[in-house]
A and B are shown apart, each in its own frame.
Chain A
Amino acid sequence: SQQGEEDPQALSIQEGENATMNCSYKTSINNLQWYRQNSGRGLVHLILIRSNEREKHSGRLRVTLDTSKKSSSLLITASRAADTASYFCATAPLGSGNTGKLIFGQGTTLQVKP
């Protein structure tokens, strides 16, 4: 079953603006990851945040994690047209052992207009 649910489903902004996407999940996790997918392509890993971390940065990306609310947010600052893509959160369930399984949400489609 899908655990991660992203909000909003679609987001359209102007170049230079910030984009915020949210993810909610249901069960306890080891970590939460964000991926990006350009149309018709495979997914690319963006960032991983562990369950004992609250915030993480990577370039123009900022991820927060609130395990008490079972939610995460991805902020892309100073967006560019090249950021246009779908963004997925994926959770690593606690107790998944050596399977490495991830549960993906439905994604947020981001359009950045030049």
Chain B
Amino acid sequence: SQTIHQWPATLVQPVGSPLSLECTVEGTSNPNLYWYRQAAGRGLQLLFYSVGIGQISSEVPQNLSASRPQDRQFILSSKKLLLSDSGFYLCAWSEAPTGTSYEQYFGPGTRLTVT
């Protein structure tokens, strides 16, 4: 069966520090991968998605970046965090769709607090 891992679970970082959040998927090949951010009490904002190794699409311009160095590994990074980067970060995967979108499977999330 497929599983998705995210770490760390919680993170407190000072403004201006770097960030690296990691997401890995097991039990599937060539998945589509997604990074979302969720503000408190709000819906999900799609940040990045990837349809293959090295292929990253950004949905929202900001000081975050994403990379996919391996088929089942997705990394969210920042060189310098802002207070506004605080939130709940969720990674998700789906089967590679053919013309439509399939259901997505989410990791447990990372709670990031920038102080």
Chain A count of residues within 8 A CB distance of the other chain: 28
| Contact between chains at A101 and B44 (CB < 8 Å) | no
How many Å from the CB of B1 to the closest CB on chain A? 14
Q: A88-B43, A105-B43 are in contact. Are A100 and B102 (CB under 8 A)?
A: yes
Q: A41-B108, A42-B109 are in contact. Are A33 and B103 (CB under 8 A)?
A: yes
Tell me the number of A-to-B contacts counted with CB atoms below 8 Å: 80
Which B residues lie within 8 Å of A43 (CB)? 44, 90, 92, 104, 106
| Contact between chains at A98 and B98 (CB < 8 Å) | yes
| Contact between chains at B51 and A31 (CB < 8 Å) | no
| Contact between chains at A97 and B99 (CB < 8 Å) | yes
Which B residues lie within 8 Å of A99 (CB)? 32, 49, 51, 57, 97, 101
CB of A27 within 8 Å of the partner chain? no
What are the 3 closest A-B residue pairs judged by CB atoms, nearest first? A92-B101, A42-B106, A30-B100
Residue positions of B touching A, CB distance < 8 A: 32, 34, 36, 41-46, 49, 51, 57, 88, 90, 92, 94, 96-109, 111
Residue positions of A touching B, CB distance < 8 A: 2, 4, 30-31, 33, 40-45, 48, 88, 90, 92, 96-107, 109
